[in-house]
Chains A and B, each alone.
Chain A
Amino acid sequence: MPKAVSLLLVALTFAAPAGASAFSVGKPEIRSMSALAFGPEGVLFVGDGKTGAVFALDLGDTTARAVEEPKELVDVEGKLAALLGGTPADVMVHDLAVNPISKNAYLAVSRGRAAWTDRWLLPNDVADASVLVRADADGRLTAVDLGSVRFAKVALPRPVDPAKQVEWKKVSLRADAITHMAYADGSLWIAGLSNEEFAATLWRVKYPFEGPVAITTLENFHGAHGKYETEAPIRAFVHYPLKGRLHVLAAYLCTPLVTFPTDEVKDGRHLRGRTIGEFGSGNYPLDMVVVKNEGRDRLVIANSNLPLMVVDPKDVESFEGEITKEVEGYTGGVRVEYRSGTGIQQLDNLGEGHVLTLVRLNGGRLDLAPLSVRRF
Chain B
Amino acid sequence: MSVLGLPAAELDRLERGTRAALADALSVHVGEPAPDRPAVLGTHAIDAEGLRFLPRLPFVPGVGYTARFTAADGTLLEHRFEVGAAQGRRPTVVGVFPSGEALPENALRLYVRFSQPMDARDAHRRVHLLDEAGSDVPLAFVEIAHGLWDPGQTRLTLLFHPGRVKRGIAPGERLGPPLRAGRTYRLTVDAAMTDAAGRPLAEAFARPFTVSAPDRESPRAEHIRVGPPRGLRTPVVVDLPEPLDEALLERLVWVEDESGVRVEGKVEVGSGETRWSFEPAGGWSPGRYAVRVHPALEDRAGNRFDRVFDREAPASSEAAMETIRLPFRVASTGAVLEKAPAP
Contact = CB atoms under 8 A, between A and B. Distances in A.
Interface of A: 78-79, 81-87, 90, 111, 114-118, 131, 139-143, 170-171
Contacts of A116: 146
A85 B37 contact: no
Given A79-B37, A82-B38, 9 more contacts: A82-B34, A85-B42, A85-B56, A86-B30, A114-B121, A115-B120, A140-B38, A142-B38, A171-B151
B164 to A, nearest CB: 24
B40 interface: yes
A359 B72 CA distance: 42
Contacts of A170: 151
Nearest to A111: B57
A12 B28 CA distance: 46
Task: For chain B, give the interface size range.
Answer: 20 to 34
Given A87-B60, A117-B149, A82 B37 contact: yes
A85 B38 contact: no
A78 B38 contact: no
A227 B19 CA distance: 57
A84 B41 CA distance: 6
B154 to A, nearest CB: 13
A131 B56 contact: yes
A85 B64 CA distance: 10
Nearest to A88: B30
Contacts, number: 68
B57 A86 contact: yes
B242 interface: no
Contacts of A117: 120-121, 146-147, 149, 153
The 9 closest A-B pairs by CB, nearest first: A85-B40, A117-B146, A82-B37, A83-B38, A117-B120, A143-B41, A82-B30, A86-B60, A85-B55
Contact of A114 (B31, B36, B63, B119): B119
Interface string B19-59: 00000000011110010111111100000000000011101
B18 to A, nearest CB: 13
Given A82-B30, A114-B121, A117-B120, A87 B63 contact: yes
A143 B56 contact: yes
Contact of A139 (B34, B36, B42): B36
Contacts of B111: none
B36 A85 contact: no
User: For chain A, what secondary structure do more than half of its interface residues adopt (helix, strand, loop), or is it mixed?
Assistant: mixed
Nearest to B42: A85
A276 to B, nearest CB: 36
Contacts of B59: 85
26 contacts: A78-B37, A82-B29, A82-B31, A82-B34, A82-B39, A82-B40, A83-B41, A84-B40, A84-B57, A85-B28, A85-B30, A85-B42, A85-B55, A85-B56, A111-B57, A114-B121, A116-B146, A117-B120, A117-B146, A117-B147, A117-B149, A117-B153, A139-B36, A140-B38, A143-B56, A170-B151
Given A90-B60, A143-B56, A115 B41 contact: no
Interface in B130-160: 146-147, 149, 151, 153
A80 to B, nearest CB: 8
B196 interface: yes
B108 to A, nearest CB: 20
B143 to A, nearest CB: 14
Nearest to B60: A86
Contacts of A139: 36
A115 B60 contact: no
Given A114-B120, A114-B196, A86 B151 contact: no
B65 interface: yes
Interface centre among A87, A115, A118, A170 (most CB of B within 10 A): A115
Contacts of B147: 117
A110 B37 CA distance: 17
A112 to B, nearest CB: 10
B151 A85 contact: no
A78 B196 CA distance: 21
Contacts of B119: 114
Given A86-B60, A117-B146, A81 B41 contact: no
Most A CB atoms within 10 A — which of B57, B149, B151? B57
A131 to B, nearest CB: 7
B151 A81 contact: no
Interface string B248-268: 000000000000000000000
Nearest to B117: A115
Nearest to B30: A82
A81 B147 CA distance: 25
Contacts of B63: 85-87
A85 B119 CA distance: 18
B193 to A, nearest CB: 13
A90 B65 CA distance: 16
Nearest to A89: B121
Contacts of B55: 85
Given A85-B55, A85-B65, A131-B56, A115 B153 contact: yes
Nearest to B40: A85
B158 to A, nearest CB: 15
Contacts of B60: 85-87, 90
Contacts of B120: 114-115, 117
A84 to B, nearest CB: 6
Contacts of A83: 38-41
